[in-house]
Amino acid sequence: MDLGHDERARPALHGRLNAAPLAALALPLLAAAVAGGLWRAGAAPPAWQSAGLAHGPLMLSAVFGSVIALERAVALKRWWGFAAPLASALGGAALLAGWPAAGAALGVLAAVVLLAVHAALWRQQPAAHTALLVVAGALGLAAQAVFAAGGDALKLWFLFPVLTVAAERLELTRLARRPRWAAPLLFALVGALVLGAVASTALYGLALMALAAWLLVFDIARRTVRAPGLPRYIALGLLAGHAWLAVGGLAWLGIAVGCPGRDLALHAVGIGFLLGMVMAHVPVILPALTGLRLGFTGWWYGPPLLLHASLLWRFSGALHDAALGHAAALLAFVFVVATHRRRR
Amino acid sequence: MSFDYEGPDELRAPVTAALNRVVDPELAMSITDIGLVYGVKVRDQGAAVRMTMTSAACPVADLIVDDLHHELGRVFGGGAPIDVQLCWEPPWTSDMMSERARRFMGG
């Protein structure tokens, strides 16, 4: 048996590149971003204003950006890939310190490195999902550049984490029987999303709703939800997230026809879809990044339930109390993680 | 869920059982059911494993390789040389999944 005829083959590292210090950087940044959210909701003291003003970039670039970049750097296993999460985290710190130009420049640097990481992953495994990662990375870079130039990058910026998630889910749909047109349809939706982000809010909202429908139809979460334990927990988190993505799309569509709903549009996607997705995957991703082993019990369901409930509450108009609910959900999640460490 | 095996016949069953215990935590399926293991060669009181992942972009590969070392270590002993090589040729396809895995995924 030939064990080495693939020139891209590499020995799997037993004992990972320990990404724990970089993963730990995301925690204070998340705390600052949440503090900023509380300030914006009128639930925090005036001293937290700087975090409040930087809330959006902190969440999108420093928190989601550094976590995504760290996942990819660990997967690629090239030392230079770790420059992306490091630059994202330092950029967030600079924004908090009141150095917006430095924060934006570091964000651009992080996006350039992450795009190079995604391109390297595509060369390693040329496939539809790695190609979509390259697209997501390019959109992230475009959004960082617009932000650095002082423009409104939010719609474009959201596409970076949303399409990164879509790429991950597209990859896993290969395990189930899916029609030939499913992947081309997803790329058509990506085109509509980009066009919508730059030219039409209505198209952006419609395309987000269509992407949510695509995920609800083709995601293997519909299968893994039948397996007990951790797979079901992850699957339910995913399916709830996809539903929130549809709500976010509907809200953007509403904005296009003159309805108020910017808070709904941003937070259905930012909290319901993205933060829900993070909570769903932490029991798998945190061990992969840090080597920390986590056990699974029913307690894991508590924080995401609180998060989704507080989000529903937010959209009933109780912004102040709901924001406290989001923060409580995150604190409870940290507690659950801390109390579920195990040896193996 | 088949893979090339080269080594003593008496170790085939325990090696296969060890691989079956390595589970993708999100998919609730073993790496053999998913079809990730291409070959195992038992040598020097240890084993060389040639395997793939469904995605080059997924950091969970390290976790799976850790578990593989642990399970094969139970077969060959803690200090035994276990060499795991990740490769991308041939590319993984759903045809490599076991019948049980295909049924679970609705195929």
DSSP string, A241-287: HHHHHHHHHHHHHHHHTT---HHHHHHIIIIIIIIHHHHHHHHHHHH
Show which residues on chain B lie within 8 Å of chain A, measured between beta carbons.
4, 6, 25-28, 34, 39, 41, 48, 50-51, 54-63, 65-66, 69-70, 82-89, 91, 93-94, 97, 101, 104-107
Q: How many residues does the structure list for chain A?
A: 344
Where does the pLDDT of residue A10 fall: very low under 50, low under 70, confident under 90, or very high at 90 and above? low
pLDDT at residue B79, rounded to an integer: 86
B29: part of which helix (H) or strand (E)?
strand B29-30
Hey, what amino acid is at A239? L
* A230, pLDDT greater than 90: yes
Q: Which of A9, A229, A284 sits opposite B86 (nearest CB)?
A: A9
Confidence of residue A21 (pLDDT cuts 50, 70, 90): confident
How far apart, in Å, are the Cα atoms of A2 and each of A6, A129, B81? 10, 29, 18
Contact assessment for residue A280 and residue A241, using Cβ atoms and an 8 Å cutoff: yes
Between A and B, how many CB-CB pairs are < 8 A?
Answer: 144
Q: How confident is the model at residue A204 (pLDDT cuts 50, 70, 90)?
A: very high
Asked if the Cβ–Cβ distance from B91 to A75 is below 8 Å, we say: no
Q: Sign of the CA dihedral A178, A75, A124, B99?
A: negative
- Report the gap between the CA of A159 and the closest CA in chain B (Å): 18
Q: Count the neighbouring beta carbons within 10 Å of the beta carbon of residue B22.
A: 22
Residue entry with tokens 């937070």: A267
pLDDT for the residue A224: 96
Q: How far is CA A241 from the centre of its chain?
A: 11
Residue with tokens 């997501």: A136
Does residue A14 carry a pLDDT above 50? no
Question: How confident is residue B106, by pLDDT bands cut at 50, 70 and 90?
Answer: confident
Whether pLDDT at A7 is above 70: no
Q: What contacts 24+ positions apart, CB below 8 Å, involve A196-201? A: A196/A155, A197/A155, A197/A156, A197/A159, A198/A156, A200/A256, A201/A155, A201/A252, A201/A253, A201/A255, A201/A256
The mean per-residue pLDDT over the stretch A203-207 comes to 98
Cα dihedral sign, B81-B87-B90-B95: positive
A69/chain B closest Cα distance in angstroms: 11
Determine whether the interchain pair A174/B54 forms a contact, defined as Cβ–Cβ distance below 8 Å: yes
pLDDT of residue A2: 47
Smallest CA–CA distance from B83 into chain A, residue = A11
pLDDT at A1 over 80: no
CA distance B59 to chain A (A): 4
B62 and A288: CB-CB below 8 Å?
yes
Can you tell me which residue has the tokens 């395997």? B51
Q: Chain B interface, mutation test: which of A2, A5, A6, most B Cβ atoms within 10 Å?
A: A6
CA-based nearest distance A272→chain B, Å:
20
Q: Percent of chain A scored above 90 by pLDDT?
A: 89
Does A16 have pLDDT greater than 60?
Answer: no
Give the residue on A whose Cα is nearest the Cα of B69.
A14
Helix (H, G, I), strand (E, B), or coil: what is residue A17?
Answer: coil
Which residue in chain B is spatially nearest to A226 when comparing CA positions?
Answer: B104
Average pLDDT of every residue of chain A: 94
Whether residue A3 and residue B85 make contact (CB cut-off 8 A), yes or no, is yes
Q: Which residues of B fall within a CB distance of 8 Å from A344?
A: 70
Beta carbons of A177 and B34 less than 8 Å apart = no
pLDDT, tens digit (0-9, with 9 covering 90-100), for A288-310: 999 899 999 999 999 999 999 99
Q: What is the pLDDT of residue A9?
A: 60
What is the predicted pLDDT for the residue at B100? 93
Token pair listed for A158: 């959201």
Cα(A117)–Cα(A283) distance, integer angstroms: 24
Please determine, for residue A20, whether its predicted confidence score (pLDDT) is greater than 90.
no
- Select from A8, A174, A283 the Cβ nearest to the Cβ of B88: A8
**pLDDT tens digits, residue range A238-282?**
999 999 999 999 999 999 999 999 999 999 999 999 999 999 999
pLDDT in tens, A76-133: 999 999 999 999 999 999 999 999 999 999 999 999 999 999 999 999 999 999 999 9
Give the tokens for residue A138: 């390019």
pLDDT of A315 strictly over 80:
yes
Report the sign of the C-alpha dihedral through residues A141, A146, A150, A156, in that order. Answer: negative
Q: Find the mean pLDDT for residues A13-22.
A: 67
Which pLDDT does position A6 carry in this prediction?
54
Task: Note the pTM of the prediction, 2 decimals.
Answer: 0.94
Q: How confident is the model at residue A49 (pLDDT cuts 50, 70, 90)?
A: very high
The pLDDT value given to residue A343: 76
First to last CA, chain A: 32
Helix (H, G, I), strand (E, B) or coil at B48: strand
Q: Report residue A85 as tokens.
A: 């999460």
CA distances from A230 to A284, A297, A342, B74 (A): 9, 8, 15, 25
Rounded to whole angstroms, the Cα distance separating A25 from A61 reads 13
- Under an 8 A CB cutoff, do B57 and A289 touch? no
Of B48, B55, B106, the CB nearest to A176: B106
Query: Which pLDDT band holds residue A208 (cuts at 50, 70, 90)?
Result: very high
Q: Do B27 and A289 touch (CB under 8 A)?
A: no
CB contact under 8 A, B26 and A12: no
